């Protein structure tokens, strides 16, 4: 199978026909020409983000290819969610050690299942032989002036987070044999690691409500730091609410206390790979946040508040504030 055969068979679909045919909303020209053409609606800004996944760094060589296809797009959709942008289209740059049909079939099925769920068309890319490596660039649209950014959190705002945190890291440690999880907890945690749910609908529903947002890829402690830096503010995190965000710990079969409070808190703060939204909103907008959560069928939890004194502090169950335990978020050039 040659390069162009491979592209035609696995990445060019009847749904995204080539030259001259309108492929999908917002897409004027898809796969097959020298460039794709996007047609964002008038008054819209184009939101653009890239994420690269490297074997041995972001996934194991033997990872389920369907899950890899899902995750490669999910991490990019998550950036659209954090921007409050509606995904339009994406490109896929792919280096493959060999043209393995079974692998490509599963990978493209996982990729397109998520793409279709979000009406996001594959409009181009590049394919080359080499060590397995994938890079997706995603394009979305957001009304000019309405994008959610990391700046904009104000003292007094509530700090909210969607879904659950810490489970992806727990799954990773379990798969590496560094930690034992009860089977039911591992199943929950592994799903979070391999098939994260990008919170696109929540991001859209939070336009005009949230004052700032970021998606959590490298651990809460580090990512909230990026938001605080951009907003020039500080924050207090509620330890009890934060540690209860570990979904696998609360899973029905996982009720035996296999993780102590401190361990749960550490994985919530430093875990990474969660792809949840962290966002701020004024206290007066609590009902609006809850309505956005219901409308997007996404659970949200209030886990802290913004204040004017710089840095991040932790409030314990007794209401006492103290420094964060020494934690580090993920950094490719330090880890
Ligand atoms: P060019 O040489 O003009 O850059 P290529 O020959 O690399 O184009 O690719 C041919 C067409 O296939 C282009 O439309 C390109 O965007 C598309 N394409 C290449 N690889 C992929 C891929 N992995 N997924 C989707 N489209 C791809
Ligand atoms: Mg060309």
pLDDT bracket for residue 283 (50, 70, 90): very high
> What is the spatial distance between Cα 31 and Cα 295, in angstroms, rounded to a whole number?
34
Per-residue pLDDT, averaged over 13-25, amounts to: 54
Four-residue CA torsion sign, 99, 168, 303, 216: negative
Expressed in angstroms and rounded, the spacing between residue 77 Cα and the centre of ligand 2 is: 27
164 or 256, which is more confident? 164
Q: Give residue ranges with CB within 6 A of ligand 1.
A: 7, 11, 31-34, 92, 94, 122, 124-127
Query: How many other C-beta atoms are found inside a 10 Å radius of the C-beta of residue 4?
Result: 11
Distance of CA 199 to the CA centre of its chain: 7
pLDDT bracket for residue 257 (50, 70, 90): low
Expressed in angstroms and rounded, the spacing between residue 42 Cα and the centre of ligand 2 is: 28
Q: What is the pLDDT of residue 260?
A: 83
Q: Whose CA is nearest to atom 16 of ligand 1?
A: 124
pLDDT bracket for residue 330 (50, 70, 90): low
pLDDT bracket for residue 42 (50, 70, 90): very high
Expressed in angstroms and rounded, the spacing between residue 186 Cα and the centre of ligand 2 is: 46
> What is the spatial distance between Cα 24 and Cα 121, in angstroms, rounded to a whole number?
7
pLDDT bracket for residue 327 (50, 70, 90): low
Q: Is 278 exposed, middle or buried (0-12, 13-18, 19+ CB in 10 A)?
A: buried
In ligand 1, the atom with minimum distance to the C-alpha of 31 is 14
Extract the tokens encoding 290.
């809850």
> What is the spatial distance between Cα 278 and Cα 215, in angstroms, rounded to a whole number?
6
Query: How many other C-beta atoms are found inside a 10 Å radius of the C-beta of residue 103?
Result: 17
Nearest of 202, 89, 85 to residue 141 by alpha carbon: 85
**Ramachandran bin of 289, using left for φ above 0, alpha for ψ from -120 to 50, beta for the remaining angles:** alpha
pLDDT bracket for residue 22 (50, 70, 90): very low
Expressed in angstroms and rounded, the spacing between residue 3 Cα and the centre of ligand 2 is: 14
Residues 6+ positions from 82 with CB-CB distance below 8 Å: 148, 203, 213, 214, 215, 277
Expressed in angstroms and rounded, the spacing between residue 128 Cα and the centre of ligand 1 is: 10
Residues, beta carbon < 5 Å, ion ligand 2: 34
In order of their start, the domains of the chain are: 3-143 (3.30.1330.10), 158-323 (3.90.650.10)
Expressed in angstroms and rounded, the spacing between residue 142 Cα and the centre of ligand 2 is: 29
Per-residue pLDDT, averaged over 17-42, amounts to: 78
pLDDT in tens, 58-114: 888 889 999 999 999 999 999 999 999 999 999 999 999 999 999 999 999 999 999
> What is the spatial distance between Cα 314 and Cα 304, in angstroms, rounded to a whole number?
9
Q: Whose CA is nearest to atom 20 of ligand 1?
A: 126
Q: What is the pLDDT of residue 217?
A: 95
In ligand 1, the atom with minimum distance to the C-alpha of 94 is 23
Q: Whose CA is nearest to atom 11 of ligand 1?
A: 32
Range in 4-18, 131-145, 204-218 the model is least confident about: 4-18
3-class DSSP assignment, residue 234: strand
pLDDT in tens, 184-210: 889 999 999 999 999 999 999 999 999
Percent of all residues in the chain with a pLDDT value above 70, rounded to a whole number:
92
Q: What is the pLDDT of residue 263?
A: 86
Which ligand gives the minimal distance to the CA of 72? 1
19 or 249, which is more confident? 249
């Amino acid at each position: 199978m040659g390069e162009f055969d491979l592209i035609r068979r696995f990445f060019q679909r009847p749904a995204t026909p080539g030259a001259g045919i309108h492929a999908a909303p917002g897409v004027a020209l898809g796969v097959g020409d020298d460039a794709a053409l996007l047609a964002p609606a008038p008054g819209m800004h184009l939101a653009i983000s890239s994420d690269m996944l490297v074997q041995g760094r972001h996934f194991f060589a033997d990872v389920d290819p369907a899950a890899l296809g899902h995750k490669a797009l999910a991490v990019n959709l998550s950036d659209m969610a954090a921007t409050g942008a509606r995904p339009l289209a994406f490109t896929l740059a792919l280096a493959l050690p060999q043209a393995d049909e079974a692998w490509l079939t599963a990978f493209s099925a996982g990729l397109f299942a998520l793409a279709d769920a979000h009406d996001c068309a594959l409009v181009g890319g590049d394919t080359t032989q080499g060590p397995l490596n994938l890079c997706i660039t995603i394009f979305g649209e957001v009304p000019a002036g309405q994008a959610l950014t990391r700046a904009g959190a104000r003292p007094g705002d509530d700090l909210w987070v969607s879904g659950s945190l810490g489970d992806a890291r727990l799954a990773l440690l379990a798969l590496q044999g560094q930690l034992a999880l009860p089977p039911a907890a591992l199943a929950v945690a592994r799903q979070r690691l391999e098939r994260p749910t990008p919170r696109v609908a929540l991001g859209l529903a939070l336009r005009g409500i949230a004052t700032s947002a970021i998606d959590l890829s490298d651990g809460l402690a580090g990512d909230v730091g990026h938001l605080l830096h951009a907003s020039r503010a500080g924050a207090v995190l509620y330890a009890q609410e934060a540690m209860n965000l570990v979904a696998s710990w609360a899973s029905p079969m996982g009720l035996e206390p296999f993780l102590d409070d401190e361990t749960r808190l550490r994985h919530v703060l430093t875990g990474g790979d969660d792809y949840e939204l962290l966002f701020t909103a004024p206290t007066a907008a609590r009902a609006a946040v809850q309505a956005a959560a219901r409308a997007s069928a996404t659970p949200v939890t209030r886990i802290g508040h913004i204040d004017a004194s710089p840095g991040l502090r932790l409030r314990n169950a007794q209401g006492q504030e103290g420094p964060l335990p020494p934690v580090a978020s993920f950094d490719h050039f330090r880890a």
